[in-house]
Structure 1
Amino acid sequence: MKTAYSPRRRHLLGRGLTLAALATTVLALAPAPAPAQQWPSKPVTVIVNFPPGGAADKIARAITQPLSETLGQSFVVENKAGAGGNIGGDAAAKAAPDGYTFLMSSGGMVSINPLIYDNMTFDPKKDLEPVAAAARVIVYLETKPDVPVNNVQEFIDYLKKNPGKLNYGSPGNGSSPHLAGELFKEKAGVDAVHIPYRGAAPAMRDLLGGQIDFMFDPGIGLSSVEAGKLKLLAIGSMHRSSRFPDVPTLHEAGLTDFDADTYFGFYAPAGTPPEIIKKMNAEINKIVNSDKFKETLAVMGSEPASMTPEEFGQKAVDDAERFGKLIRERHIMGG
């Protein structure tokens, strides 16, 4: 049975239907939020929390260029150094979690810095999300040429004869080269003065200039080793370097279980859409496994490392446990 409406009622119903149709049309024409599949739609910033020329910077640039080509937007490296990586880490942690800011960092900023800095302005384990590993960075024990030694045992003997007279540089307190230096002092029973720098590159400049005596190099000075400007005594890893297969590890030289490797990789502000993190992880892993990237790392003496975000995150947990005892015993504090 048909319902009878008054002329006014029919007018209002018709008007309501017209407005509803108009609203539907407007919504259909309005731009919808860009789904993750359309990301990125503008340039992406990659913060590097160490100065230009260091391991983190070189790895970041080796990855951001192919990312730009593959994803069709610029990935712009921005160096924010200082406080052992905390300044750049803080900037990334407080950036909008929209997929347009990432951090390239040593794993130590996440695993070690919370153990040595009392005044961190962010919590890296809560405020940053692991995205992808990029490289296992090996440290190389190098001395300036006029240190009168030719192998690890001679160097240990020389240090014992000159306690506290030699100094070594590092990219900063709590960095893997610093921890390697303290681990070396503990296992070898020697004393040397630590001089922290704001990155590996300035420390290497002073080693080459003779202002410091030795350094655990994250790979940026290996060309100087090959040119005879530095002496390479040993590898601070459990595995020999493919670039210097004849150089022993410190473990082989008698410092049992000496392992100062660290993993460098990408992080995102907490809350970044998981689809974007998943896409970044997949694209970075492709680059990390490419021959071109492996060749870049070979020059630095590093090894490629592809992982899931979960695996990369677990590395920070493992490193905090691995170095925690050393940090407490050696009273290592952030500068």
Structure 2
Amino acid sequence: MVFTRRVALGLLPALAAPALAQSGAWPNRPVRYINPYPPGGPTDTLSRIYCARMSEITGQQFVVENRSGSGGNVGADAIAKSTPDGYTIGLGGIASHAIAPTLYRSLPFDPERDFTLVSGLWQLPNLLAVHLDLPARTVPELIALLKENPGKYSFGSAGSGTTLHLAGEMFRQLAGVEMVHVPYRGSAPAQLDLVAGRISMMFDNIPGTLSLARQGQVRPLAVTSLNRSPVAPELPAISEYLPGFDVVSWTCVCGPGGLPAPVVQRMSALTKQALETPALIRAYEDLGASPWWTGIEEIASYRTAQKDRLAPLIRASGARVD
């Protein structure tokens, strides 16, 4: 599956609906939504679907601005340093709010103090896939193979410190196996090497690798979410064999620290309305993601729990950045 700006825009008509009149002061003018990742990727597509629905509900434009760089830290810093009035918000999530505090020795922002987390937005599982020649067709067979050949097989990821790398690290620890990590600059080159057999396996966001699997170019074994994915219900979750295994890419709507409570509450309520729209649900699920609304306190607690859970994995992986 290829994510492009054209694909994103092509999904918007499916969400078209009469603008619903809303009471309250926010928003009464256009809202800037900062996506800390490049245009054309899954976060861009999913963000534009959300913003399109928010525009329909509120009657105000929600304009996506891509501010990529430094693993999402450039865009996150732009959100953190914006005026806390609700008219600059953006995409937060596992990278900037749960991984970055441990991965980077210094950051231009404080993930706890400098943001107001409003609600969860979506969750996207990862997929474990192997090269077709690898003699393992199930997770137990893969674990047995790795235990018989410690350090012989490699796994690729989209980069050190990503959820894809950490999924491999969690697999290594819970299964008690040794594998060689091969980090890439993004998923695309890793996928090419997996198909060619230059790496043995790969943890990747589900859309791209599942497409390769359904074309018969790689063998999918399992998803990394706690439960099976509705996108590929035939695939087991790794947690069915390794209890407690759970690594998903999650995102949230956030703004700078100090957003007024009435704005936060209204933004949360409108986000819930957007995420419950049947057309949005279908569009998200078509891309492998699950809409994920949370309460205001719940998303803050979830972020803290995720940060604490992932910190030992990041330290053990050796991925820390000066």
TM-score, normalised relative to structure 1 = 0.79
CA contact (8 A) 1:168 1:192 kept: yes
Q: Does residue 154 in structure 1 map to residue 141 in structure 2?
A: yes
1:39 to 19, 22, 27: 27
The amino acid that maps onto 1:246 is E
1:182 to 169, 189, 195: 169
CA distances 1:250-292 after superposition (whole Å, capped 9, x unpaired): 1223x22211134211110112333322222112111212222
2:120 to 133, 137, 159: 133
Give the Cα separation in 2 of the matches to 1:202 and 1:82.
19
What's 1:26 paired with?
none
2:79 to 79, 92, 112: 92
CA distances 1:156-200 after superposition (whole Å, capped 9, x unpaired): 344445544544333443332221110011122333333444555
What's 2:270 paired with?
283
The amino acid that maps onto 1:275 is P
What's 2:106 paired with?
119
Q: Does residue 247 in structure 1 map to residue 235 in structure 2?
A: yes
What's 1:25 paired with?
none
CA contact (8 A) 1:82 1:198 kept: no
Give the Cα separation in 2 of the matches to 1:103 and 1:199.
22
TM-score, normalised relative to structure 2 = 0.82
Q: Which blocks of at least 5 consecutive residues in structure 1 are unaligned?
A: 1-34
2:296 to 294, 309, 313: 309
Q: Which moved more, 1:151-160 or 1:317-326?
A: 151-160
CA contact (8 A) 2:92 2:252 kept: yes
Q: Which moved more, 1:273-282 or 1:204-213?
A: 204-213
1:285/1:322 Cα in 2 relative to 1: closer, same or farther (>3 Å)?
Answer: same
CA contact (8 A) 1:170 1:196 kept: yes
Residue 146 of structure 1, CA deviation: 4.0
The amino acid that maps onto 1:242 is P
* Percent of residue pairs bearing the same amino acid type: 36
What's 2:222 paired with?
234
Q: Does residue 292 in structure 1 map to residue 252 in structure 2?
A: no
Q: Which blocks of at least 5 consecutive residues in structure 2 are unaligned?
A: 1-22
Residue 38 of structure 1, CA deviation: 5.2
1:292/1:230 Cα in 2 relative to 1: closer, same or farther (>3 Å)?
Answer: farther
1:241/1:326 Cα in 2 relative to 1: closer, same or farther (>3 Å)?
Answer: same
Larger Rg: 1
CA contact (8 A) 1:51 1:199 kept: no
Give the Cα separation in 2 of the matches to 1:280 and 1:204.
38
RMSD of equivalent CA atoms = 2.6
1:143/1:50 Cα in 2 relative to 1: closer, same or farther (>3 Å)?
Answer: farther
What's 2:20 paired with?
none
Give the Cα separation in 2 of the matches to 1:74 and 1:203.
37
CA contact (8 A) 1:56 1:105 kept: no
